[in-house]
Amino acid sequence: MKVPAATVIGLGCFTGQVLANQWPYERYYPKTNKQGDPVADKAQPEFGDQDRGPENQFGEWLGRLVNQGTVAGLQDIFTDGSLPKHPSFDDIWENVKTPEVPPNATHATRPSSYKATWPQNEAEALLGHLPWPLDQRCTASKDQWWYRTYDGSCNWLKNGEMNEGMYGVAKSRDYGQHHYADGISMPREGPNPRAVSNAFFKRKEVLYYEHTPFLLGLVEFIMHDITWSSDSRDEYIDVPVPDDEKDFPLNTTFRVYRTEAAPETGTSRENPRENINRATTWLDLSSLYGSTHEVAMKLRSFKDGKLLTQEVKVQGSKKAASYLPFNSMGVPVQTRPGVSPEALFAGGDPRTNEDWIMLGVHTLLLREHNRMCDLLKAKKPAYDDEEIYQTVRLLMSAKFALIGNAYQMAYFKDMPWPNDDGFPLYREMSGSSWLEINPANNYPWPLVTKEGKPTVVSAEMAVVYRFHEFIVKTFPIKDALNNTMWDQNLFATAFNATGFIDAGLENIMRGTVASSIPNFKSGVEEDFRSAGKYRGSPFDIVVWSIVHEREQGLPTFNEYFAAYNKGNPGQEPPEVQVPIRKRFEDFSSDPKMVAELKRLYRNPDEVDLVVGCQLDETMFPHATIPTSSLIISLFSLISMGNSDRFSIGFAAMRCLLVDKPWDCHPSNALEELLWKPVENEAFPNARFYDDYWMAELDFQAHGQNLLWRLVTENSEINCLQKNPLFPLDEKTNPLLCALPESGVDIRLLLSTGVEVMLSLIKIHYVEIIATIAAVIITVWLYNKINAATRGYPKVLGGLPFLGKALDFQKDAKAVVLEGFRKFGDRSVPNVFGIHLASLTHYVISNPQDVQSMIDDAPYAMKFSLSKLFEAVNMPIILRKVNFASNLHTNLIRTHLGDPATVQKIGRTMQAAATRFLETNPLVPATSSSHVYSEGLTAYINQYITSVCARCMIGPEAYEHPELINMFLEFNEEVDKVIGLGSLLPSWMSFIANIPMNKGYNKFRKVFLPIIAKRRAEVEEKKQLNGAAAGAETGDEFIDFMSFILDIVDDYERAADLVTITVWIGLRNLQITLLSTLLDMIDVPGLADQINSSLSRPARGVKADLSTLNTFTRTDSSPWALLRAAMFESIRLCGPASGPARIISSPHDLALASDPSVKLPPGQVATLSSFYSHRMPENYGPDAKQYNPQRFLTSGPDISSKEFITWGLKGPHTCPGRWFTQEAICIMMKEVLERYKFEPARTGLDDDEKYEYHAGVVTRKEVPVTVWKRSA
């Protein structure tokens, strides 16, 4: 059984877990146990009579409405037109006045559940009361209106308007205002955004704390639920820092991408630019479930309605619990450079991994969904997976709306009763009483419609509702004993899913309810306002807001509130007015702020909307939030919630205001659950509130306790303050505790058994260790004696089973050099082995043995490349059918081994390189230089991938900029899969198959439409020309896809081959191009010398495509010095091991240099490019030094034993080597002509340049300043 544990945490939290199916409000005030820890005191239940539970505030509210007679028709439902005081649900039902004679049925009798037998006209019958015709696209299928759709469509059912609030449509404008500079799409002008940020948004010295970080996480999650303005692919605004900048170098530029434009907008003043909302506008938890069918399907388990999870037992927890799954299914996620999307959590919103506090809320909601699935399955055993999932989605969104009610109350001070029914804002805004405005409303509610349409998220709300002041610098990570394990920097939690698991949800949540956040007017935390890097670039969260306000053409502060003060058409002006600021002094009473306004803006009407809200010193009546901010944000949010057809408020009133309890016909699955059937022969459709679900939704307290329950019912935190959004206060916000679980916990028993076993091991560890050691030593001695007896070379053994694999992955060069130090001098043939998991790699360096491998290359009798490829998972990486046929290699060898084709594709390379450098300049247009403090690798990788994609795919690559990151991620996965090949036995290769299949499927989605389009174009050309149309000819830009489509009919295989060829191009260029550039600039003056040789050749021959021939070398070529430097860099950046082959001889293979030394079959024979290319025997006494003129007068003998970068001479020499040389020369020329480079350090040695991993070499980053060359 679970042992009750009560240990102090935070400002009033301790561990334990509440039963999921107990009465929701069985909680107690704490007492102190003998150990001094607070525990639940059963003698002090929160409500006095714990069996009865809390006072039914919903019943009280309904009774007042009925007795006051303020809602038309409501009194007619009840006997004597009234309800008793303090009514329970049973009391309310007992007072329902049923007619003496049942009326004629006006609706079809409701089927028992979601079945295919639903009548086609049911929507018209159930929703016929709506004041407009229904959209037949929605009513044709019941799952379109009975449940929520994934994309938010069909929530608003008015004919022709089904897309209101839907994913992928343009955001609305609160008052139809568009203030573009040209009236169409050009961003509104204003002062430098960074200067504005520095002036008005710096963190204040005096901060006022009133809320916990839990509020920050909740605000973030709500905003991600209703709005996401995705970035434009190619439109951006560069913001230089002002001259008085103190935090960034003066050459720093913030690049802010414009928000994605809605299609077919921005064409005229009558049709100005709008921006797309990539989330549904409803409070439907789309951040949890997804806003598209594709994402939603990938997040489901398809078992009992539940979402996918991973079960993890984290530090300090008692048992495993659910966390978000890692993104193995490939849903869209935002990340930062160096973090693979697969290493992040999968969620319904791409921003899921932005910080741990929001992830804490997300994880709790994930667990709550699955908990609710268990509850619904127990209550509705006939429901299948789909019914459970869809119904729980509605229940969860209902809970979330009620949590939103609790959330809005966090901003209020004292307020007249009832301040917790969700409508105090409306009452204040209109100056009405609770009798006039309350939740007893029919759908659609006119107060929340604008010009006959529902309130949906607006562009203004999406920008203003960010509340950046709430962001904290750090928050504590607390264990179950209330110890602060560490103070966590919030900025550092971005895109760190593994760190979230390591820290543990409970430890994170304890910190979020045990600390405080700044209040409004506090300014923005500097870690987010002056971040050195965020997703790879300098970052200021305020600059982003200001730029987005302007580039979306939003109104200024005065422009917005001038429209607001007039009110919506057909409605009275709001009671709460916002004065227009006629003078700068009207914005602020602070002389410093007024002075800054005058310095930056020409007149008050130009002051940005977010700036005016930031400076607003008036508070909304009875609230702690500035008036202007609340109107744009919170008021709009609540209006959106009450525009939702699935609103819990409308569901709760369905059979009181639309139908009657004795003739009740729910119009969606949530209503069906809340209104349970009541047996009555005279009234077969009688229904009334299901007290189980009403209690589960916390209707008795208007949802005020749902946050407390969200934590206690879904974590090991058993006690925390009543309202977790506020700090603990003994009187106003006391600590409340739930009882721990009772009963036998099988997992606890098993863990106890493990502890017993571990105890036995502890007692007898000497005997156990001795036995294990004896076995290991015996096996080791046998292998060593056997190897020595048979004449095998000496081996670096390392760890049992793994050998040196882990060390080799970390630093391959160090392991190889260790072998040479230990065995090279004492081994006549200079060969030794390295034990790497399932294989031993024998490093060969003797020229006779290397030549033996070269001589065998055409026959593969002794050494097999294909078997090595199998061992490192190449059939998985390349797909088995391609690996078996070697079609990709044959295509590359045929076409990219042809000088004319390579020269022609050079034109494509040059155009692609020019386009990339012009659209992604190394130095912003507004600057003369730029500092790359983290080096050039990320930029060069993007450059390489973009050019390769264009050369291999065609012009369509430009239409899919996402391909760049897709290929870079694919390349990282390949590295992992190759690594797995050396660590896992062959029968476990399916593990490596998973990420590869996922990667290919992602590429197919992009390439299949392109291929279909290409094929259609070819057919059209055939019809027009009467001849076959294959690869492009003449002077056109050509691409490799045309060659693939000429011989591959199957679309999917063609798509896979395109993927492979782009990846091979990226693989060959990734280290070679980068090294060529970095080695050049490491020698002062060399890059300028090479650029001069290209731009001003001595013999008057231009360095253009006509003079570039990578197949032959001539001293007179203007490309000669660049080519020589390229080959020298390629020589020095070779990997620590490779080229390699599997020893395929059926018997022990005698070495050519010393036949007494043998290599065992089935193991690996490998060269070392690193070692061979630095041998004085091959390159003289300066072999280890970079000499850019080494290959100026004589090129390397490619694939000879002296130059083995592209493999061994023979049929398996790298077929793309000519393409690689062409690309390096062209891409380097384009870069050198535009820029000069100044690295922070020069004269680097090998250890300062390279990092060697298993089969991969990378360059160590060096900060570089890049300067524009003068024209």
Dihedral pair phi/psi, residue 929, rounded to 5°: -150, 165
**CA pair distance 94, 78, nearest whole angstrom:** 9
**CA pair distance 689, 672, nearest whole angstrom:** 10
**CA pair distance 664, 1234, nearest whole angstrom:** 75
Q: Which residue has the higher pLDDT, 1201 or 591?
A: 591
Half-sphere exposure in the Cβ direction for 294 (13 Å, CA): 7
Q: Is residue 1199, in this structure, part of any structural domain at all?
A: yes
User: Could you tell me which of 68, 98, 72 has the C-alpha nearest to residue 83?
Assistant: 68
- Mean pLDDT of the residues in the chain: 84
Q: Is residue 754, in this structure, part of any structural domain at all?
A: no
Dihedral pair phi/psi, residue 672, rounded to 5°: -60, -35
> Would the annotation count 362 as a binding residue?
no
pLDDT reading at 1034 higher than 70: no
Tell me 158's DSSP state: B
Q: Is residue 901, in this structure, part of any structural domain at all?
A: yes
Q: Which residue has the higher pLDDT, 148 or 762?
A: 148
In this prediction, residues 744-751 reach a mean pLDDT of 37
| Together in a domain, 142 and 175 | no
pLDDT reading at 1216 higher than 60: yes
Predicted confidence at residue 434, as pLDDT, reads 46
Confidence of residue 836 (pLDDT cuts 50, 70, 90): confident
Domain end call among 639, 671, 699? 639
Q: Is residue 91, in this structure, part of any structural domain at all?
A: no
pLDDT reading at 992 higher than 70: no
β-pairing, 449-450 with 453-454? antiparallel
CA distances from 395 to 3, 287, 455, 644 (A): 32, 15, 22, 14
| Together in a domain, 143 and 224 | no
Dihedral pair phi/psi, residue 1007, rounded to 5°: -80, -30
Q: What is the pLDDT of residues 839-860, one digit of tens each?
A: 899 999 888 888 888 888 877 7
| Together in a domain, 969 and 987 | yes
**CA pair distance 186, 178, nearest whole angstrom:** 11
In this prediction, residues 495-502 reach a mean pLDDT of 94
The whole-model pTM stands at 0.59
Half-sphere exposure in the Cβ direction for 946 (13 Å, CA): 21
Confidence of residue 17 (pLDDT cuts 50, 70, 90): very low
Predicted confidence at residue 21, as pLDDT, reads 32
In this prediction, residues 1085-1103 reach a mean pLDDT of 82
Confidence of residue 699 (pLDDT cuts 50, 70, 90): confident
| Together in a domain, 906 and 1054 | yes
Are 522 and 204 in contact by the 8 Å Cβ rule? The answer is yes
**CA pair distance 118, 120, nearest whole angstrom:** 6
Radius of gyration of the chain (CA): 35
Predicted confidence at residue 1265, as pLDDT, reads 96
The H-or-E segment that residue 37 falls in is none
| Together in a domain, 1068 and 1190 | yes
Percent of the chain past pLDDT 70, that is, above it, reads 84
CATH of the domain at 560: 1.10.640.10
Q: Is residue 1073, in this structure, part of any structural domain at all?
A: yes
| Together in a domain, 902 and 1001 | yes
Q: Is residue 434, in this structure, part of any structural domain at all?
A: no
Predicted confidence at residue 1030, as pLDDT, reads 38
CA dihedral 220, 350, 193, 337 (to 10 degrees): 120
Least confident of 70-74, 557-561, 771-775, 1135-1139: 771-775
Least confident of 131-135, 215-219, 504-508, 976-980: 976-980
Sign, CA dihedral 237-238-241-242, equals negative
Least confident of 802-806, 1112-1116, 1160-1164: 1112-1116
User: How many structural domains compose the chain?
Assistant: 3
Tokens of 1128: 């020298």
Least confident of 17-21, 865-869, 1177-1181, 1213-1217: 17-21
Least confident of 447-451, 530-534, 593-597: 530-534
| Together in a domain, 146 and 183 | no
Predicted confidence at residue 994, as pLDDT, reads 80
Are 284 and 148 in contact by the 8 Å Cβ rule? The answer is yes
In this prediction, residues 29-33 reach a mean pLDDT of 76
Domain end call among 608, 639, 670? 639
Are 628 and 608 in contact by the 8 Å Cβ rule? The answer is no
Predicted confidence at residue 1115, as pLDDT, reads 65
Confidence of residue 599 (pLDDT cuts 50, 70, 90): very high
**DSSP secondary structure string, 1223-1235?**
HHHHHHHHHHHHE
Are 345 and 326 in contact by the 8 Å Cβ rule? The answer is yes
Are 361 and 218 in contact by the 8 Å Cβ rule? The answer is yes
Length of the chain as a residue count: 1271
Half-sphere exposure in the Cβ direction for 577 (13 Å, CA): 8
Least confident of 141-155, 626-640, 997-1011, 1256-1270: 626-640
| Together in a domain, 234 and 158 | no
Domain end call among 605, 621, 639? 639
User: Could you tell me which of 679, 689, 707, 685 has the C-alpha nearest to residue 648?
Assistant: 689
Helix ranges (H only) for 627-745 are: 627-632, 634-641, 648-653, 669-674, 691-696, 706-712
Sign, CA dihedral 542-545-546-547, equals positive
∠508-514-520 over CA atoms, to 5°? 100
Dihedral pair phi/psi, residue 1235, rounded to 5°: -135, 155
Predicted confidence at residue 747, as pLDDT, reads 36
pLDDT reading at 790 higher than 80: no
**CA pair distance 474, 496, nearest whole angstrom:** 16
CATH of the domain at 980: 1.10.630.10
Predicted confidence at residue 1215, as pLDDT, reads 85
Are 1064 and 1221 in contact by the 8 Å Cβ rule? The answer is no
Tokens of 61: 């509210």
β-pairing, 1164-1166 with 839-843? parallel
**CA pair distance 78, 110, nearest whole angstrom:** 24
User: Could you tell me which of 99, 147, 567, 210 has the C-alpha nearest to residue 394?
Assistant: 147
Q: Is residue 1166, in this structure, part of any structural domain at all?
A: yes
| Amino acid in the structure at residue 35 | Q
Confidence of residue 425 (pLDDT cuts 50, 70, 90): low
Q: 946 Cβ partners below 8 Å, 6+ apart? A: 912, 916, 957, 964
| Together in a domain, 208 and 129 | no
In this prediction, residues 1116-1137 reach a mean pLDDT of 89
Q: Is residue 1079, in this structure, part of any structural domain at all?
A: yes
User: Could you tell me which of 353, 301, 351, 350 has the C-alpha nearest to residue 322?
Assistant: 301
| Together in a domain, 958 and 1059 | yes
Are 1040 and 956 in contact by the 8 Å Cβ rule? The answer is no
pLDDT reading at 70 higher than 80: no
- Specify which residues 1023 forms β-bridges with: none
In this prediction, residues 1119-1141 reach a mean pLDDT of 90
Domain region containing 1248: 863-1268
In this prediction, residues 780-805 reach a mean pLDDT of 70
Top-confidence range, 84-98, 552-566, 716-730: 552-566
| Together in a domain, 189 and 259 | yes
Q: What is the pLDDT of residues 602-657, one digit of tens each?
A: 999 999 999 999 999 998 777 778 889 888 887 778 788 888 999 988 899 899 99
**CA pair distance 586, 861, nearest whole angstrom:** 89
Confidence of residue 103 (pLDDT cuts 50, 70, 90): low
β-pairing, 484-489 with 474-478? antiparallel
**Where are the extended beta strands (E) located within 265-313?**
310-312
**CA pair distance 345, 568, nearest whole angstrom:** 42
**CA pair distance 653, 688, nearest whole angstrom:** 11
**CA pair distance 940, 622, nearest whole angstrom:** 56
Predicted confidence at residue 1060, as pLDDT, reads 87
Are 326 and 346 in contact by the 8 Å Cβ rule? The answer is yes
Half-sphere exposure in the Cβ direction for 683 (13 Å, CA): 19
| Together in a domain, 146 and 187 | no
Q: 519 Cβ partners below 8 Å, 6+ apart? A: 207, 208, 209, 210, 211, 469, 624
